[in-house]
Each structure stands twice: as structure tokens, then as C-alpha cells.
Amino acid sequence: MTKLTVIIPTLNEESNIQRALDSVFFADEIIVIDSYSSDKTVTIVKKNNVTLLQRKFDDFSSQKNYAIQKASNDWVLIVDADEEVTDELSKEIKEIFSKELNYVGFYIRRNSYVENKRLQFGGYSSKIVRLFNKKYCFYEGIVHETIKTTGKLENLVGRLNHYTYKDYTHFKKKMNYYAKLRAQELFAKEKKVTIFHLYIKPFIRFLIHYIFKLGFLDGKEGIIFSYLMAYGVAKRYKELTLLNNK
């Protein structure tokens, strides 16, 4: 049977990390790559039978690529600290690993949760490569990093649960953090900011989640999620404007 290494990146994830760890103990190896957390994350991790690595954060791709090279196994599953592997997904992975693998990686979708309520309509819907063979795949990009490969990819049915929203302040703080990193990435590419980026693009993002994806059917949580998605886009280009003005 093919062996699997799970990698979990962390930075101040004391409220999430144990849930993520509990969901991946079916793996042959678990690595936590921590960016020198200042809360109880490391203390919690050390109570589990896992490998702890610590590295100063520079960007998401470099952090994950570093941990991937430390993995004992070729096949790697990336799980964020605010995610958990569902029973359906773990069973599916075990099943495909018991057979001959004809792919170098697999796409996985996520269930979005706001205050422990699953968004049935307006959450994240894009599929991302999270399970892959490190011989043929690597991460690229500073923010919203993506897997680069020339090999064949397939879709998995099982999903990750993504607890993206603990409370309003937490989520907004996270959006601010991602916006600054994304602005730096765009600044390096000499991107300019227009009225479209500052006002129209955030509104379109809100419409996508709230109207086109039927986020309004998710109730209060749907409008909160849609607003914060739009806020993140607006904040990104405000940060880029500041960098360009300097």
C-alpha cells in the first residue's frame, strides 16, 4: 500500500490544530510546519505523536515546499490548521492508495463553515490540488499558492471541512493579512489600481457569493461570508494603492 505524509502549516492555531490532527491520524506520517506561533499551538502539537518543524515564514509556497521536502513519503496531503479531513475523504484516500496509482495528484473540494454552520450555497466551491506525489508537483505563488505539475490529475469525491470563520473579528483580521500579502505579490508584478479594482471588483465578488451562488439562502452567515469576501478584495487593492504611492 502507498504510504502518506500529511503536512499541516500553523501560525497561532491553538483553537483549531487538535481538530485537524485528530482527522489525519490515518496517515503514516504527520508533519506540522509552524511559523513560530506565540500562542499554545506548539504545546498542543507536542502532545501528539507527530513531527514538529519550525521555520520563519516568508511566503506560503516556500513554507509548504520546505515541509514537503522533509516528508518521508512521496505522497503528501496538505491540510490547513482550520480544516479537517472528513471520514468520507479518509476512506477514499485509503481505497485509492490500496490500488495502483495512475495520477500524480488529486483535486479536493471544501465545505465552508461559518460559526460552525456549513454554508450550503455561498461558500468556497473551487477545487484545489491537496493530495499529490511530491516527485511531480510543487507549490508556486506567494498567496493563494497553487500546485504546478505536468502530470495527470483526478478529482476526489470526499471533501475537507473548512472552518474559515471563528468570529467576525478573527475572519476580518485574516482577510487583512491575506490582502497585504496579495498586494505585495501584485506590487512585485507592477500592477496598477483602477476604479474597477477598488469599487466594482469587490461588488462583483459579493454578487458572486451572495446572488449567483445563492448565498442568501444561507441566511445571516451567507451575507457575512459574502461581505467579507468582497472586503478582502477591496482591502487588497487599497494596500496595493499604498505600495504604489510609496
Q: How far apart are CA 218 and CA 187, in angstroms?
A: 36
Range of the domain at 76: 4-165
CA diameter of the chain: 56
What is the pTM (predicted TM-score) of this model?
Answer: 0.89
> Same domain for 125 and 209?
no
What pLDDT, on the 0 to 100 scale, is given for residue 166? Answer: 75
- Domain check: are 148 and 212 in the same one? no
Whether 136 and 17 share a structural domain: yes
Question: Same structural domain for residues 154 and 210?
Answer: no
**Cell matching residue 199:** 469599487
- Asked if 223 and 216 count as a contact pair (C-beta separation under 8 A), the reply is yes
Q: Where does a domain end: 165, 180, 198?
A: 165
CA 196 to chain centre: 27
Same domain, 153 and 180: no
The pLDDT tens digits of the residues spanning 184-239 come to: 989 999 999 999 999 999 999 999 999 999 999 999 999 999 999 999 999 999 99
3-state helix, strand, coil in the chain (%, to 5): 40, 25, 35
Domain count, the chain: 2
State whether 156 and 38 are in the same domain. Answer: yes
Q: Is the pLDDT of residue 5 over 80?
A: yes
pLDDT score at 70: 98
Domain boundary among 165, 199, 231: 165
d(CA 145, CA 133): 17
d(CA 83, CA 23): 9
Q: Are residues 59 and 115 in the same domain?
A: yes
Domain boundary residue, one of 132, 165, 198: 165
- pLDDT per position as a tens digit, 13-67: 999 999 999 999 999 999 999 999 999 999 999 999 999 999 999 999 999 999 9
Same domain? For 92 and 146 the reply is yes
8 Å CB contact between 37 and 10: yes
* Same domain (yes/no): 38, 96: yes
Whether residues 216 and 158 share a domain: the answer is no
pLDDT per residue as tens digits for the range 217-229: 999 999 999 999 9
* pLDDT the model gives residue 82: 95
Do 203 and 227 meet the contact criterion of CB atoms below 8 Å apart? no
Residue corresponding to grid cell 513554507: 63
Interval 84-115: pLDDT, tens: 999 999 999 999 999 999 999 999 999 999 88
pLDDT at 122: 87
Mean pLDDT of the chain: 94
Note whether 12 and 41 are same-domain residues: yes
Residue 64: which CATH number? 3.90.550.10
Q: What's the pLDDT at 13?
A: 94
* Per-residue pLDDT reduced to its tens digit, 115-168: 888 999 988 878 999 999 999 999 998 777 899 998 999 999 999 999 987 778
Residues 154 and 181 in one domain: no
